[in-house]
Amino acid sequence: MAQILVVDDEIGIRELLSEILADEGHDVLLAEDAEAARRVRERLRPDLVLLDIWMPDTDGITLLKEWAASGQLGMPVIMMSGHGTIETAIEATRVGALDYLEKPIALQRLIATVRRALRQNEGTTAQGLSLATLGRALSLSELKKRLAQLAQTTAPVMLRGERGMQPELFARLLAAPGAPFVPGEGLLAEASSELLARATGGILFFPELSQLGRAEQKGLEFLLARADRHKSRVVTFSTVEAKTLVEKHGFDAEFVTRLSELVVRLPPLRSFAEDIPDFGARMLAQLVETRSCPPRRLNVAALNALRHHAWPGNLAELESVVKNLAYSALEEEIGLPDVERVLAAHASPAAPPELALDRPYREAREAFERIYFEHLLVRERGSMSRVAERSGLERTHLYRKLKALGLPVGRREEA
């Protein structure tokens, strides 16, 4: 039937629960403390975890928080304690526990709680990538604060940014906890009040406005005009500015003005390079969680290599590279040679990006400098000494220049 992990420091309780659950037809895994539970969880995705709160090394609540923060809480968890309080039970459920059992555990209550948890887990999918616990870089943490502030308003929001930014991740931060979030891509040609009803009290999200045809634009106009009545909010994303939507993509100017009542620019992935290792690790954990690949983990050297890559394709490119690593790595630990192999395979021989020569001089110079230093950082694999040598800049000046351009600083330790 199900694979159940029992985590308890008392051997008698582990054995008793193991016998009861085995009699019910389950495959039971045992762990005597949090460290043993971590090792099991890294290798496997149990269908259910029975987790003791009071343990000698790390308590169950702390372990639960760890799993939630790292994206590993993809299975129901039932907390257990012989010294529990109402406050402890509330905290456990707030963090993500499904239920709470007080010791000594009655046989029938144990069986009923396990059955209910497994039924609830049937058909559910692992949690998608979320920005909730990410944001080491100043640019990303400030953006999250700004979106949290805008979540208190109801006006339409247009997100702006480069291709590959996966704007839905950011749009979801505008939705209140538990509120509906309805991706409307592909539904605009048949826009209706039913779609608005599904998003009542929440968000209707539409990516890449520049790809919408005339009929889809009319559908979006219909929804925007009626969103307030349904207490829904329209959030869109565009890689081009409002003026371009009107001049090159056939949008009505007044309509674009209403769509862009609030505009938020999404910084490119390279501007929050500190968070790239966390993004990569979470993406990989998701693949392992859904059993799309065998157990995999990125070592420190691999994570550093991901951090120092320029990522012109942003989050979409990072996700593609992580999937390639997950499926093609020969060992459980993914190292630097794996990352170098996959990045080389993903590298495009295409011509460098074109510079818009109709820009003011200052903007054109900055655009050129960004492309130039992105190229050097990729070519020299993040080595600051080699980039400084190639560019002819003193290293302190180089650090300042990269920071001003929003580019990641490479490996300072290399001579």
Residue 41 CB burial class (10 angstroms; 0-12, 13-18, ≥19): buried
Do 159 and 142 lie in a common domain?
yes
Reference 234, options 212, 247, 249; nearest CA is 212
Q: Which of 290, 318, 346 is the last residue of a domain?
A: 346
Q: Is residue 188 situated within a structural domain?
A: yes
Q: For position 156, which CATH number holds? A: 3.40.50.300
Do 217 and 237 lie in a common domain?
yes
Do 146 and 48 lie in a common domain?
no
Strand order of the β-sheet with 3-7 is 27-31, 3-7, 48-52, 77-81, 99-102
Do 276 and 184 lie in a common domain?
no
236-283 pLDDT per residue, tens: 999 999 999 999 999 999 999 999 999 999 999 999 999 999 999 989
Do 163 and 249 lie in a common domain?
yes
Do 210 and 326 lie in a common domain?
no
Integer Cα distance of 222 and 216 in angstroms: 10
The DSSP bridge partners found for residue 381 are none
Rg (CA), the chain: 25
Q: Is residue 74 situated within a structural domain?
A: yes
State the DSSP string of 24-89: TT-EEEEESSHHHHHHHHHH---SEEEEES--SSS-HHHHHHHHHHTT---S-EEEEESS--HHHH
- Would you state the pLDDT for residue 157? 97
> In what helix (H) or strand (E) does residue 289 lie, and over which residues does it extend?
helix 276-289
339-352 pLDDT per residue, tens: 999 998 887 554 45
Q: Is residue 133 situated within a structural domain?
A: no
Q: Which of 95, 121, 147 is the last residue of a domain?
A: 121
Q: How many domains does the chain have?
A: 4
Query: Nearest 5 degrees, angle CA 42-CA 70-CA 145?
Result: 170
Integer Cα distance of 125 and 239 in angstroms: 30
Integer Cα distance of 217 and 160 in angstroms: 18
SS3 string, 256-269, reads: HHHHCCEEEECCCH
- Would you state the pLDDT for residue 144? 95
Dmax of the chain from CA atoms?
76
pLDDT in tens, the chain (415 residues): 789 999 999 999 999 999 999 999 999 999 999 999 998 987 778 889 999 998 988 899 999 988 887 777 878 999 998 876 677 777 788 778 888 898 889 899 899 999 988 887 664 444 568 888 788 899 999 999 999 999 999 999 999 999 999 999 999 999 988 788 988 877 776 667 778 888 889 999 999 999 898 888 999 999 999 999 888 999 999 999 999 999 999 999 999 999 999 999 999 999 999 999 999 998 998 888 777 888 899 999 999 999 999 899 999 999 999 999 999 999 999 999 999 999 988 875 544 556 666 678 887 888 888 888 887 887 776 778 888 888 889 888 888 888 888 777 765 544 4
Q: Is residue 225 situated within a structural domain?
A: yes
What single DSSP character describes residue 104? S
Instruction: Classify each residue of 317-345 as buried b or exposed e, where b means 16 or more C-beta atoms within 10 Å of its C-beta.
Output: bbbebbbbbbeebeeeebbbebbeebbee
Do 92 and 117 lie in a common domain?
yes
Do 183 and 245 lie in a common domain?
yes
Q: For position 361, which CATH number holds? A: 1.10.10.60
Q: Is residue 131 situated within a structural domain?
A: no
- Would you state the pLDDT for residue 242? 92
Q: Is residue 11 situated within a structural domain?
A: yes
- What number of residues does the chain have? 415
pTM: 0.64
Integer Cα distance of 308 and 410 in angstroms: 6
Q: Which of 328, 346, 364 is the last residue of a domain?
A: 346
The range of the structural domain enclosing residue 414 comes to 351-415
Integer Cα distance of 102 and 86 in angstroms: 11
Q: For position 108, which CATH number holds? A: 3.40.50.2300
- Would you state the pLDDT for residue 244? 93
Contact 321, 346 (CB under 8 A): yes
Q: Is residue 21 situated within a structural domain?
A: yes
Write the CB contacts of 64 (distance below 8 Å, at least 6 apart in sequence): 51, 73, 77, 79, 92, 95, 96, 97
Do 194 and 245 lie in a common domain?
yes
Do 251 and 307 lie in a common domain?
no
Do 286 and 310 lie in a common domain?
yes
Q: Is residue 70 situated within a structural domain?
A: yes
The torsion defined by the Cα of 365, 368, 374 and 378, in degrees rounded to 10, comes to: -140
Query: Nearest 5 degrees, angle CA 217-CA 223-CA 226?
Result: 145
Q: For position 313, which CATH number holds? A: 1.10.8.60
The torsion defined by the Cα of 55, 59, 63 and 69, in degrees rounded to 10, comes to: 180
Do 243 and 322 lie in a common domain?
no
